[in-house]
Amino acid sequence: MPVARTLAFLSSLSLLACNATPPPVDAGDLEDAPAPDATHDVGSDAFVPLLPPDITRTMTEAQLAPQRAGCTFQAGAWPAETLGTEIPLGDDIPIDHVIVIVQENRSFDHYLGRLVAQGYYDAGDFSEGGSGFSHSDQLDGPPPGWSNPDGAGGTVVPHPDDAYCYGVNHGWNDMHQDWHDGANDQFVINNNPGGARSFFYEDDTVIPFYYALASTFAVGDRYFCSVMTSTWPNRFYTMAATSFGIGDNSFDLLDTRDHPSNNVFAELERAGHTWGDYTDGPHQVLFFPYFGAMRATQAHFGDVHCDLLGAIRDDTLPDVAYMMGDEVGGQTTDEGPSALPGIGGALVETILRTLFASPAWAHTAVFITYDENGGLADHVPPAPACEPDALTPHDGHGVALEGRFDHTGFRVPFIVVSPYTRPHFVSHVVHDHTSIVRFIEARFGLPAMTARDANATPPMEMFDFEHPAFMTPPNITAHTVVPDAVLTQCGQTLAPTTCAH
């Protein structure tokens, strides 16, 4: 990518980050350079790939899961050291390609909370002697009576979205106020006036394809974003299992030529694996000002309709592909509340239907999630989590933020789509974004980057690798459309459906 275009991308990201300013990028930094900590034979082009050591696994999940819960493991821990013998690793996982789709700003209750009310799953059994959410056909949606005070003596309960495009407060302080030490009772008050919008929900009349996916394949009702704050820190967790101490939408200022930050893409390169960053807007890898500006990195960038869909059709996907919607312009496909869920939902539907028709389907897993809840209400409090490193929370100016990185953020939607996904299955296992990272590390032989992914549980329970239920893709007839009147009201247009190259 030309230097001018790179700097233009960084400038656009700066605007998205509320005028955060990236460090200057020297033209020399754009030349190819070794990935962080890459093993190269100095003076030659030889490359020695990073391979996992020969570790004899003897401990079970019953022995290792409590150690992970106690944050025993640290950066550098191999999956064979932290995951029980029941969990497959490497080539024992029959997945050659992992597609990670991370969209914007929706909570679980807001997006998928109607799965019970609309009859797709059962509620938990909390009757006398009941077992709670213990079964794979039970889902934890908002319970009857779930509400927040409105600040005027009344309460607000979940209700249909009739605004369609709007904003909700979702910075570090806002999220922690919403949480209220586990009460989850400040969503409305924090967004007054008009705070009732934080209790909007979407249903199968708005995002029917997602509801069909969630009912057909596997969904996680204990999947949380990684940190109680806005987009960029959570996207850092999807790529690096830490936000490098960042608590707001700021660049990773620690990522320099002399001290490049580590990330899953650099780790994949070290191990000789391939990756791609696909979007029709600014690429999220550019959040790393040094790593993202390297020409070698930008060789992995592609758009969605030409490059990602083309790779799916041709069965030439990289080992790991990350995709996010475009949040710039009128054809926004990122699904954040200021955009329309159906526009981005239709794009994701296109990706999956293309995959269903491709030979790539037989050996691919797709993880669909959202970077954070965007300030939208959810009734399940964030879960305790392992601090990734010794860095403490701060904003883009270096000002300390109150709190720590010892809890996840709120729940966000999580759907796993693969021939090997358990059908009509709900996982009640606690996961966050680093669980996807740990899955990638387990499949492709990578060490943990921080203590958070070292102690993460990959969502293996959502797969049945011995008995694939969907080797023949399902016939999903639900189709997401956006009414013309809603498009007009929000001043938005549908995204292209074909390659424009």
Q: Which residues contact 69 (CB under 8 A, 6 or more apart)?
A: 455
* Across 136-161, average pLDDT: 96
Hey, where are the domains in the chain? 3-26+66-122+204-490
Distance of CA 308 to the CA centre of its chain: 18
**pLDDT band with cut points at 50, 70 and 90 for residue 46:** low
CATH superfamily, region 3-26+66-122+204-490: Alkaline Phosphatase, subunit A (3.40.720.10)
* Across 257-282, average pLDDT: 95
Per-residue pLDDT reduced to its tens digit, 326-375: 988 777 899 999 999 999 999 999 999 999 999 999 999 999 999 999 99
Q: Which of 93-97, 381-385, 415-419, 492-496 has the lowest mean pLDDT?
A: 492-496
pLDDT of residue 357: 98
Q: Does the structure show a pLDDT above 80 at 27?
A: no
Per-residue pLDDT reduced to its tens digit, 307-337: 999 999 999 999 999 999 998 877 789 999 9
Q: pTM score, two decimals?
A: 0.92
pLDDT of residue 6: 40
* Across 220-239, average pLDDT: 97
Q: Does the structure show a pLDDT above 60 at 4?
A: no
Q: Does the structure show a pLDDT above 50 at 468?
A: yes
Nearest partner of 138 among 424, 464, 381, judged by Cα: 424
DSSP label at 130? Answer: -
Question: For the chain, what is the mean pLDDT?
Answer: 91
Q: How distant, in Å, are the alpha carbons of 179, 323, 420, 459 from that of 466?
A: 40, 28, 8, 16
**pLDDT band with cut points at 50, 70 and 90 for residue 62:** very high
155-156/364-370 β-pairing: unpaired
* Across 54-74, average pLDDT: 97
pLDDT of residue 45: 58
pLDDT of residue 3: 38
